[in-house]
């Protein structure tokens, strides 16, 4: 996966606070998260974040 971005960058792309993204992750909402194997680090796939945003836009119409 070459398009991984940090939670901070994912939140900025979405236009929300990083804390909101954390809350969504804990509530099983928001874009899918990637857990980096062998660590406690989290990341997001830029393409999955964009897809999630497009899906949210379609749901709001």
* Domain of residue 20, CATH code: 1.10.10.10
What tens digit of pLDDT does each residue of 14-25 get?
999 999 999 999
Strands (E) located in 1-61: 4-5, 33-35, 42-45
User: pTM of the predicted model, to two decimals?
Assistant: 0.87
Give the torsion sign (CA, 23, 6, 12, 30). negative
- Domain range for 14 is 4-59
Q: Give the total number of structural domains in the chain.
A: 1
Residue 2 has pLDDT above 80, yes or no: no
């Amino acid at each position: 996966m070459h398009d991984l971005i940090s939670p901070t960058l994912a939140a900025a792309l979405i236009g929300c606070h990083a804390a909101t993204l954390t809350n969504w992750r804990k509530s099983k909402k928001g874009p899918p998260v990637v857990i980096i194997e062998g660590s406690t680090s989290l990341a997001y796939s830029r393409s999955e974040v964009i897809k999630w945003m497009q899906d949210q836009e379609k749901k709001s119409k």
